[in-house]
Structure 1
Amino acid sequence: MSSPRTLRRWLTAVLSAALVASAAVGTARAEPADTATTAATTAAASADGAAAAAVTFSDTFDGPAGAAVDSSKWQLETGDNVNNHERQYYTSGNKNAALDGQGRLVITARKENPSNYQCWYGTCQYTSARLNTAGKFTAQYGHIEARMKVPRGQGMWPAFWMLGTPVDWPASGEIDIMENVGFEPSTVHGTLHGPGYSGSGGIGAGYTLPGGQAFADGFHTFAVDWAPNSITWSVDGTVYQTRTPADLGGRSWVFNKPFFLILNLAVGGYWPGDPDGSTVFPQQLVVDHVSVTTGDSAPGAAVRGLAGKCVDVAGANPANGTPVQLYDCNGTSAQRWTAGSDGTLRALGKCLDVTGNGTADGTPVQLWDCTGGPNQKWTVTGARDIVNPQADKCLDVTGNNAANATRLQIWTCTGAANQKWTVG
């Protein structure tokens, strides 16, 4: 599966901590030895100042296959849900929520009733699972994300969301980071619910994959960047809506307080409708990681170069081989870079990579799974260059061209403006 283990680690070493403290990156060759450092060393040296972006919650679901989730982080709700007219019975333990032994949580919906569970409509027809962090962890502001692959089929309703504390819905608030209903395979929704704008009257928007792609075909990262009086939603680093109190038409904004996290896979209900003859069971919501990073509105930091533009992952596409380019700074995750403890520079869970392990002038850089190879190591110093030590060459804007989408490459360090980089 295309689920790089390194993706789960990138939030733990934040480039903003590594670079903001020094406010610059530079060429090892052009500086005295005591000013040159790897990205990892810089991150460690400035760890005391890393409060700007700290991981406060993380679950990478490591453990043996079949094990239940970590009970210090999650609790499982049990029973049915008459409020939405859902059809499933939520079970405890590892019956419908278990680790797969490869660093993922699998929530499984089955058409079964092994224990004669009773639901609001009579004998239950389906089982599934719903997990929350109530009483164990709450967030108030920060970057909240999960990387998941959703199920497919009529009647499926996976969700990653939050409820305000203490719960008094809708007055206490609800933030839906991601919901998908099976009859819309290419679309997910992000929604706010509160007093006077709940249920079908929630405030939100949808995000649709291009070209008829289905979310069930692969993993995607769903996130919100949450600050006082502002919540921004993104999919794979692409922002698709921001909500503020101005969107509520004078109604109360109830999102400046702690919320807890919820993951669940519902079957049926008012919104998705019930499964039909086309729905294949079992169906699975596969969760690669969940993390909460507080402080900065998004993890990592922008790296600016020629004409004040940013180092950017083209199209916010996390696929291997995606070009890394120069682009207008826009604050999305495609432009937020962190320093790995191994000397890598990372965005969207993958590494800044010199294509083909090349060392020649003009070799382009790209995004790639973190492999630990020398073509993914970078040295940073106070001369404001970024150097690949294997090639002994600098990160360079091709042709000194400040136009959007200009490809980045490595080139012999010259001290020119197209090789100078700063943070912010």
Structure 2
Amino acid sequence: MAAFHRRSPTATGIAAAMSLALLALADAAPAMEAPPGWKLAWADEFDVDGLPDPAKWDYDTAFNRTGWHNRELQYYTSARRENAEVKHGRLVITARKEALASMPDYGGQAYTSARLVTRGKASWTHGFIEVRAKLPCGPGSWPAIWMLGTGGKWPADGEIDIMEHVGHKPGEILGSIYTNAQNWPRGTGKTSKTTVPGACGAFHDYQLTWTNDRILVGVDGRNYAELANPKDGDYDKWPFDRPQYLLLNVAVGGDLGGAVRDDSLPWRMEVEYVRVFQPAR
């Protein structure tokens, strides 16, 4: 989920100058696994019922009053089980048709949801990340599993979208990687797509392999998107030698989510686990 998808005029010559490309890979790509010798560094198996573990997760509510990026329609709550709850071994993020007008940061939204982040709790530089999840398919739903740089400057500090899905196109999974040179405001954004039949009815493994050489995005052991490190020292092209944190959320509507069909709510993204592997030290 790009932090800002709003378009601005394309910078002249940017596309031609880009030496990095996000590549769609063939269906026959080799299975994606943690590199040999890498060890589990962080995980949440969601095995304790209640609110998400506060030692691992925080809530992003920063733009509730002013409105969220991409013209999204949700109000993101904090520590509210109706929107984010661990139950029966799963994290459930639920988007609902409701207005919380009594909240001090209410911005007029007619929907609630949750945006969980590991920011300030855990971040990583390089790793193999796997998130096993089942997605909602209601028209207007926009679930995402993604990462942002801890420096807080978008897109300069990089963004990795491990999974995006919109309910208007059930089963179409999007993977994107953004940098200062490759992003929507400059008209140079690159997104790869793959089809996952049953993405809304069954759990699938959404995966990221991130090394010093390249970033691979995949699902169920099959890579479908790649960004190679040019190794020319240009931070605008490769900001991925610095920490990133993880985000899990279900957005409502917006530029990508599209028109919302209210009778399809509530929407639920269910997550069985999040696992992060890194090189053994």
TM-score band by shorter chain is 0.7 to 0.9
Q: Which has the higher helix share?
A: 1
State whether structure 2 residue 118 is matched by structure 1 residue 165: no
Sort the Cα spacing of 1:15 and 1:174 in 2 relative to 1 into closer, same or farther, 3 A: closer
Q: Distance in 1 between matches of 2:105 and 2:193?
A: 31
Pick from 122, 139, 150 the counterpart of residue 137 of structure 1. Answer: 122
Structure 1, unmatched stretches of 5+, are 1-13, 17-51, 297-424
Structure 2, unmatched stretches of 5+, are 1-33
Partner of 2:140: 155
State whether structure 2 residue 69 is matched by structure 1 residue 69: no
State whether structure 2 residue 227 is matched by structure 1 residue 233: no
Pick from 37, 44, 52 the counterpart of residue 59 of structure 1. Answer: 44
Q: What is the number of residues matched between the two proteins?
A: 239
CA-atom RMSD, angstroms?
2.4
Q: Distance in 2 between matches of 1:118 and 1:190?
A: 35
TM superposition shift of 1:245: 3.5
TM superposition shift of 1:271: 1.2
Amino acid of the structure 2 residue aligned with 1:272: G
Please state whether the residue corresponding to 1:136 is helix, strand or coil: coil
Partner of 1:111: 97
**Structure 1 residues 219-267: Cα deviation after superposition (integer angstroms, max 9, x where no partner):** 0000011101301111111121221135xxx852111111011101100
Higher gyration radius (CA) = 1
Pick from 65, 78, 89 the counterpart of residue 92 of structure 1. Answer: 78
TM superposition shift of 1:117: 5.0
Q: Distance in 1 between matches of 2:35 and 2:126?
A: 20
8 A contact 1:224–1:232 mirrored in 2: yes
**Structure 1 residues 174-228: Cα deviation after superposition (integer angstroms, max 9, x where no partner):** 111111111111111111111132236323311113xxx3410110000011101
Sort the Cα spacing of 1:216 and 1:119 in 2 relative to 1 into closer, same or farther, 3 A: farther
Map 1:43-58 → 2, pairs under 5 A: 52-58=37-43
8 A contact 1:89–1:119 mirrored in 2: no
Amino acid of the structure 1 residue aligned with 2:150: T
Partner of 2:274: 290
TM superposition shift of 1:119: 8.1
Q: Distance in 2 between matches of 1:56 and 1:202?
A: 31
Q: Distance in 2 between matches of 1:85 and 1:154?
A: 16
Partner of 1:385: none
**Structure 1 residues 8-45: Cα deviation after superposition (integer angstroms, max 9, x where no partner):** xxxxxx995xxxxxxxxxxxxxxxxxxxxxxxxxxxxx
Please state whether the residue corresponding to 2:240 is helix, strand or coil: coil
Q: Distance in 1 between matches of 2:258 and 2:273?
A: 28
Sort the Cα spacing of 1:269 and 1:117 in 2 relative to 1 into closer, same or farther, 3 A: farther
8 A contact 2:91–2:270 mirrored in 1: yes
Partner of 1:258: 243
Partner of 1:38: none
Pick from 148, 160, 165 the counterpart of residue 175 of structure 1. Answer: 160
TM superposition shift of 1:130: 0.3
**Structure 1 residues 51-106: Cα deviation after superposition (integer angstroms, max 9, x where no partner):** x3211110011112xx1000000101225343211100000112310011x11000
Q: Distance in 1 between matches of 2:169 and 2:200?
A: 11
State whether structure 2 residue 69 is matched by structure 1 residue 83: yes
Amino acid of the structure 1 residue aligned with 2:180: P
TM-score computed with the length of structure 1 as normaliser: 0.53
Q: Distance in 1 between matches of 2:102 and 2:254?
A: 21
Map 1:193-232 → 2, pairs under 5 A: 193-199=178-184, 201-209=188-196, 213-232=197-216
Partner of 1:192: 177
Give identity over the alignment, percent. 38
Amino acid of the structure 1 residue aligned with 2:212: P
**Structure 1 residues 350-403: Cα deviation after superposition (integer angstroms, max 9, x where no partner):** xxxxxxxxxxxxxxxxxxxxxxxxxxxxxxxxxxxxxxxxxxxxxxxxxxxxxx
8 A contact 1:91–1:128 mirrored in 2: yes
Please state whether the residue corresponding to 1:270 is helix, strand or coil: helix
Runs of 4+ in 1 over 3 A off after TM superposition: 114-120
Q: Distance in 2 between matches of 1:272 and 1:117?
A: 25
Sort the Cα spacing of 1:15 and 1:112 in 2 relative to 1 into closer, same or farther, 3 A: closer
Q: Distance in 2 between matches of 1:111 and 1:15?
A: 43
Sort the Cα spacing of 1:15 and 1:240 in 2 relative to 1 into closer, same or farther, 3 A: closer
Please state whether the residue corresponding to 2:97 is helix, strand or coil: coil
TM-score computed with the length of structure 2 as normaliser: 0.79
